[in-house]
Chains A and B, each alone.
Chain A
């Protein structure tokens, strides 16, 4: 058990520390000018010393990321299910979905501002736009590959379509669903930041970084990037946590005692 914790938590922390060391080593070793790249410590300080100004902006980005993620995940799941169940719709809708992902996301921001203004909504739409696609593709793939013999067995028992869906098809799709959610989670922050860049009139994390850049405050530029990355990683880890909790059979041989039904 302790070995497992060491491997699952210790190793990622170690690789993170290693990354900082490499950063430090490059900046110091190659005499990189501080207006091009700060040392890790300076970037950290740029964040902590301006924490009170940054925190509301961070909350804003988190809100856009999380809202957009949930909208995208719900939309992605629904579309995947609908397309799997209605093959005609699949043939009609699938090309449109592929098209939606071919649109450069930056080019999407301008019309969204025209339509939705500078509120939180255009950012949520952009995040959802990015998140739904891997979810849909994975759910559709999962649902269409459920073992036909298993579905036949359910029919032999006299199961209704609804119960077969709930007790067979959905759990059988858990693994691809979470693959899609994890891909979505990693890209969600990117969507939020793109949205902030294109559709912010007031304060936002993306604009904060732009200002820092304009003021040649390199440490703050790097520090903000670190903050954005941290939001993305945290969200990804939360999704992984939910997966671990929701799919115990993936890593356990015996069910926990309290798991009943």
Chain B
């Protein structure tokens, strides 16, 4: 089933065409990576899907329903974890509920259960300042998970982490994704990351921002560190890199 559909969605800021008319369909339960150089309109596309920006043209449809310029239908996470320092880990995880209604005992129990399941059970009463970058991103992701949105938009969530932590987080994310069956749209400028994680790699190019390729990812799951040296991985990486470099030249 198609969960998200973009029909000729476009966005312009003044003279800058941030996103030229783009069409896209995302299957429910899939993991789709979007790669492209900085400034090619990836974040703009997410902001339009999330409803933070209203598209200049075209339609955004979630489960067939037009949602242009309205919010409340996606989970959303950025490179910045945006944890609030005045709340504990548990209270940060339940933030969405606090902002939209009452945080019930069941909500708190769910937050605690998710944190325990994914390795943060000992930090529920900690304030975020006490946590490492990787742990903070995990809390931010759990906060996104408990919104119960089926569609998750992750905008370079691991962009600020060191290589080792990033690899751990990628495997962790795949585990959570497998457990929860959400639909993930994942922006990155790291080609390896896009292929390692996804079912599908969408390549964008700048000025004007647009989709230039859409590759099905043939790599089997589960993925391990060995995936990174498989011929199919190298093959897909080569194709993506060629596209990105052609745009550079």
List B contacts of A149 (CB < 8 A): 78, 80, 82
Q: Which of A183-191, A217-225, A251-259 contacts B (4 or more CB under 8 A)?
A: A251-259
* B99 nearest CB neighbor, chain A only: A159
Say if the beta carbon of B243 comes within 8 Å of chain A: no
Please tell me if A171 contacts chain B, counting CB pairs below 8 Å: yes
| Whole-angstrom CA separation of A155 from B76 in the bound complex | 10
CA distance A255 to B92 in the complex (A): 13
Q: In the complex the two chains form, is A156's CB within 8 Å of B84's CB?
A: no
Q: Which residues of A from 144 to 165 have beta carbons under 8 Å from B?
A: 147, 149-150, 152-160, 163-164
In contact, A156 and B76 (Cβ under 8 angstroms) = yes
Establish whether residues B84 and A168, one from each chain, have CB atoms under 8 Å apart when the complex forms. yes
Q: How many residues of B contact A (CB 8 A)?
A: 29
Interface flag for B126 (CB, 8 Å): yes
- A35 close to B (CB within 8 Å): no
Question: For residues 18 through 70 of chain B, which have their beta carbon under 8 Å from a beta carbon of chain A?
Answer: 47, 50-52
Closest residue of chain B to A158 (Cβ to Cβ) is: B72
Number of A residues near B (Cβ < 8 Å) is 28
A261 at interface by CB-CB < 8 Å? yes
**A240 on interface, CB distance cutoff 8 Å:** no
The reply to whether A150 and B82 contact each other, CB–CB distance below 8 Å, is yes
A157 to B91 Cα, complex, angstroms = 15
Docked Cα-Cα span, A252 to B86, in Å, equals 10
Is A254 in contact with B99, judged by CB distance below 8 angstroms?
Answer: no
Q: Is A167 close to B, CB under 8 A?
A: yes
Q: Confirm or deny: B74 has a beta carbon within 8 angstroms of a beta carbon on chain A.
A: yes
Q: Given A253-B126, A254-B126, are A157 and B96 neighbors across the interface (CB < 8 Å)?
A: yes
CB–CB B125/A254 < 8 A? yes
Instruction: Please report whether the interface of chain B is mostly helix, strand, loop or mixed according to DSSP.
Output: loop
Q: Which of B52, B85, B91, B130 contacts A156 (CB 8 A)?
A: B52
Q: Collect the chain A residues with CB atoms within 8 Å of residue B125's CB.
A: 254-255, 257
Q: Report the bound CA distance from A255 to B100 in whole Å.
A: 24
Q: In the bound complex, how far is the Cα of B130 from the Cα of A249, in angstroms?
A: 10
Q: How far is the CA of A253 from the CA of B89 in the complex (A)?
A: 11
Q: Is B147 an interface residue (CB 8 A)?
A: yes
Q: Is A46 an interface residue (CB 8 A)?
A: no
- Quick one: closest A residue to B47, CB to CB? A152
Interface: B7 (CB within 8 A)? no
Q: Say how far B125's CB is from chain A's closest CB, in angstroms.
A: 5
Which residues of A have CB within 8 Å of B84? 150, 168, 171-172
The main secondary structure of chain A at its interface with chain B is: helix
Compute how far the CA of A261 lies from the CA of B91 in the bound complex, rounded to whole angstroms.
Answer: 8
CB–CB B127/A153 < 8 A? no
| Contact in complex: B130, A155 (CB < 8 Å) | no
A window 226-261: CB within 8 A of B: 247, 249, 252-255, 257, 259, 261
A174, B99: Cα distance in complex, Å: 18
Q: How far is the CA of A154 from the CA of B85 in the complex (A)?
A: 15
Is the Cβ of A157 less than 8 Å from the Cβ of B147? yes
Q: How far is the CA of A158 from the CA of B76 in the complex (A)?
A: 12
Bound Cα distance A77, B99 (Å): 23
Chain A CB within 8 A of B88 CB: yes
Q: Is B2 at the interface (CB under 8 A from chain A)?
A: no
Flag if A153 contacts B82 (CB, 8 Å). yes
B162 to chain A, nearest CB (A): 22
Task: From known contacts A167-B98, A261-B91, infer whether A174 and B86 are also in contact, taking CB-CB under 8 Å.
Answer: yes
Which partner residue on chain A sits nearest B75 by CB separation? Answer: A156
Alpha-carbon distance between A154 and B98 when the two chains are bound, in angstroms = 10
Q: A249, B85: Cβ atoms under 8 Å?
A: yes
Do residues A253 and B129 form an inter-chain contact, with CB atoms below 8 A? yes
Q: Which of A147, A154, A171, A261 contacts B99 (CB 8 A)?
A: A154
Cα–Cα distance between A159 and B72 once the two chains are bound (Å): 8
Kindly state the separation between the CA atoms of A252 and B126 in the bound complex, as whole angstroms: 9
B71 on the A face (CB < 8 A) = yes
Interfacial chain B residues near A164, Cβ < 8 Å? 99
Taking a contact as CB atoms under 8 Å apart, the answer to whether B82 and A163 are in contact is no
- Not counting A149-B80, A153-B82, A157-B95, a sample of 14 additional A-B residue pairs whose C-beta atoms are within 8 angstroms of each other reads A147-B82, A152-B52, A155-B51, A157-B71, A157-B72, A159-B99, A159-B100, A167-B98, A167-B99, A247-B86, A249-B87, A254-B126, A254-B127, A255-B125
Contact residues of B with A, CB < 8 Å? Answer: 47, 50-52, 71-72, 74, 76, 78, 80, 82, 84-88, 91, 95-96, 98-100, 103, 125-127, 129-130, 147
Q: Mind listing 13 A-B residue pairs with CB under 8 Å?
A: A147-B80, A153-B78, A154-B99, A156-B74, A157-B100, A163-B99, A167-B95, A168-B84, A172-B84, A249-B87, A254-B125, A255-B126, A257-B125
Nearest 4 A/B pairs, CB to CB: A158-B72, A159-B99, A253-B130, A157-B96
